[in-house]
């Protein structure tokens, strides 16, 4: 089953659990390495000064929100390819068609957002940002926007390689991207080894170079890898199949919206903290970074679950679908339960990775971050459950209702509670975090319940 083909009989629960872990492990590694790539930019730009760091932070946020949403859109190719492989192990033409149309969506979908990012200063000024910071962010985005297409094309290639049973390449190529990012930033931001010192613009160029290098690395893998090249994925790349393009868009648009709702919730929480106080923002940022790092594990498991459930869905095997979905949910929530205990027991150890917890100057930040992490420990289980539940539902190509659930849970419950407790009670920042936890809990319960009732809801088909 390492080649992601449908087995003759549904795998046992133990075999399915092992298959999920084999698929998820390199995807988790790639996610963690990708976070390191983002951190490299911050490390280098932070040395340029406050204005440059603020400009880069705002620019990267605008770019990342768009990249995150469009990644969800093209991510619909994962369950589609998995279902095609589950239905027929040698579905070469169908896989190639899905890959080709996902590439077209990646390129065409990027263009309007590149135009939007080209007017970054107007967007930032409209949100009340400092004019100097907005101008520097605009110069940064004028370069960074060109990374959108190679980043999305690389995403399609990574997803396809993983869906075809070769997830290890994702970790290898992301590690390559990390090395390229470090080198490019070192050369271009401060002008080392004879290169010009380009400062903030140098960091943007480094991001563009990194995205492009990863895209070409994935292209080489798809052509050179023995088990991938037989699909001839780049064959007839110019041909458009309107039906398949529409299928990916219909399935992917709700995924993009769901991911936007979640990402925007945490961004909005940051803005709420900013209205409470500067120290609260710093403590929130550190606590959220820790939670985001830990989240990469269930996120990788969710990516694997989409593929494993998709294979079973394509095969029309109810037993396999159940085993694939529940195995992923058990692994994802189990890991987050373990990290919840660690956060609860050793919060200062986690904080010490980011700040000196014994320095008197950091006492106020630590005092706020500790209760934030206590709440983060409580929502670790919910965060893992909702991520994996969304993944398994995508495996059976169910994305519209989960999108509605995300809107209700994250915004009507989570954000509303954060505002109410953060500003109308003495809880302040703690109230904002309680709102985040409640939103995640509601989404997790509703998504897991929907997965539990998948057959009654007609989400599962048989052949």
Predicted TM-score of the model (pTM): 0.89
pLDDT in tens, 131-170: 888 899 999 999 999 999 999 999 999 999 999 999 999 9
Per-residue exposure over 3-32, b if at least 16 CB sit within 10 Å of its own CB, e if not: ebbbbeebbeeeebbebbeebbbbbbbbbb
DSSP 28: H
Q: Given a cut of 70, is residue 115 above it in pLDDT?
A: yes
Q: Given a cut of 80, is residue 200 above it in pLDDT?
A: yes
Q: Do residues 343 and 350 touch, judged by C-beta distance below 8 A?
A: yes
Say how many CA atoms lie within 13 Å of 341 toward its Cβ. 5
Q: Do residues 422 and 269 touch, judged by C-beta distance below 8 A?
A: no
Q: Given a cut of 90, is residue 220 above it in pLDDT?
A: yes
Q: What is the mean pLDDT of residues 58-75?
A: 89
Confidence of residue 2 (pLDDT cuts 50, 70, 90): very low
Write down the pLDDT at residue 55. Answer: 84
Query: CA-to-CA distance for 205 and 189, rounded, in angstroms?
Result: 9
Query: CA-to-CA distance for 157 and 225, rounded, in angstroms?
Result: 13
């Amino acid at each position: 089953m390492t080649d992601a083909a449908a087995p003759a009989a549904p795998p046992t629960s133990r075999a399915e659990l092992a298959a999920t872990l084999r698929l998820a492990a390199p995807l988790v590694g790639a996610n963690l390495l990708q976070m390191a790539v983002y951190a490299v930019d911050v490390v280098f730009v932070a040395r340029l000064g406050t204005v440059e760091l603020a400009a880069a932070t705002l620019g990267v946020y605008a770019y990342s929100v768009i990249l995150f949403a469009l990644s969800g859109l093209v991510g619909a190719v994962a369950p589609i390819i998995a279902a095609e492989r589950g239905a027929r192990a040698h579905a070469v033409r169908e896989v190639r068609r899905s890959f080709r149309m996902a590439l077209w969506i990646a390129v065409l979908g990027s263009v309007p957002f590149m135009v939007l990012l080209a007017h970054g200063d107007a967007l930032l000024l409209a949100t009340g940002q400092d004019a100097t910071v907005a101008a520097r962010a605009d110069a940064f985005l004028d370069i960074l926007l060109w990374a959108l297409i190679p980043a999305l094309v690389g995403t399609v290639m990574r997803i396809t390689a993983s869906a075809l049973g070769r997830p290890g390449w994702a970790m290898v190529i992301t590690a390559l991207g990390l090395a390229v990012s470090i080198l490019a930033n070192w050369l271009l931001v401060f002008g080392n080894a004879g290169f010009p010192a380009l400062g903030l613009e140098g960091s943007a160029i480094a991001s563009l170079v990194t995205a492009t290098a990863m895209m070409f690395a994935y292209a080489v893998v798809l052509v050179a890898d023995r088990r991938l090249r037989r699909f001839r994925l780049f064959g007839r790349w110019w041909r458009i199949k309107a039906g398949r393009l529409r299928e990916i868009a219909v399935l992917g648009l709700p995924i993009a919206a769901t991911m936007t709702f979640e990402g925007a919730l945490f961004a909005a929480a940051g803005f709420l903290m900013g209205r409470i106080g500067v120290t609260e923002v710093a403590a929130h940022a550190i606590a959220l970074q820790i939670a985001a790092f830990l989240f990469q594990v269930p996120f990788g498991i969710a990516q694997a679950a989409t593929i494993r459930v998709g294979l079973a869905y394509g095969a029309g095997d109810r037993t396999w679908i159940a085993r694939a979905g529940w195995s992923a949910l058990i692994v994802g929530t189990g890991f987050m339960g373990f990290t919840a205990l660690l956060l609860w027991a050793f919060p200062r150890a986690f904080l010490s990775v980011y700040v000196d917890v014994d320095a008197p100057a950091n006492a106020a930040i630590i005092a706020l971050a500790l209760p934030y992490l206590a709440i983060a420990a409580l929502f670790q289980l919910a965060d893992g459950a909702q991520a994996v539940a969304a993944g398994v539902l995508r495996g059976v190509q169910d994305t519209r209702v989960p999108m509605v659930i995300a809107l209700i849970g994250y915004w009507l419950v989570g954000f509303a509670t954060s505002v109410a407790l953060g500003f109308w009670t003495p809880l302040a920042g703690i109230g904002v975090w309680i709102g985040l936890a409640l939103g995640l809990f509601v989404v997790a319960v509703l998504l897991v319940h929907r997965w539990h009732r998948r057959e009654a809801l007609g989400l599962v088909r048989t052949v």
